[in-house]
Amino acid sequence: MPEHPLVGMWKLVSLDRTAPDGEVTHAEQPVGYLIYTNEGWFSEAFEYLNPADGSTAHVLYCGTWESPDAATIIHQPHIHPNADLVGASLERGFVVADNGNRFTLTASTGGGRAELVWERVR
């Protein structure tokens, strides 16, 4: 089986959140990493400044992943700050670009969505 295009280590480039009313917020100073292994494990950790109030937001979770098709990835957290999400199947869309060196991950969030752009770490 060929290696999945997301296997590897990724650095966060940008994070945009779209509210249910369509308003887009660009996260300030996003810093983070995302790792996918061929064995089906992932780890994601990032932080950014919330432009609304200047506070620092943190996202840290890990678990297993699967990709049922060429545009979907499912995260199954084993550790998550929201205990209700441990063991859940969190479906995300993804699009690979720049010859596999960049991808965009899209997740539904509370009626809106988050769009994270990642760049491969070499």
Query: Using one digit for the tens of pLDDT, what is the confidence trace for 75-117?
Result: 999 999 999 999 999 999 999 999 999 999 999 987 899 999 9
CA end-to-end span of the chain, whole Å? 23
Residue 49: half-sphere exposure toward Cβ, Cα within 13 Å: 5
The structural domains of the chain, ordered by start, are 8-120 (2.40.128.490)
For the chain, what is the radius of gyration of the CA atoms? 14
How confident is the model at residue 1, as a pLDDT?
41
The residue with tokens 């400044």 is 49
Neighbours of 66 (CB within 10 A): 12
Q: pTM for the full model?
A: 0.91
Work out the percent of the chain whose per-residue pLDDT is above 70.
98
Q: Is 23 exposed, middle or buried (0-12, 13-18, 19+ CB in 10 A)?
A: exposed
**By C-alpha distance, which of 60, 59, 91 is closest to 75?**
91
How confident is the model at residue 122, as a pLDDT?
86
How much is the mean pLDDT over the chain?
94
Neighbours of 89 (CB within 10 A): 10
How confident is the model at residue 2, as a pLDDT?
56
The average pLDDT across 50-54 equals 84
β-sheet bridge partners, residue 7: none
How confident is the model at residue 62, as a pLDDT?
98
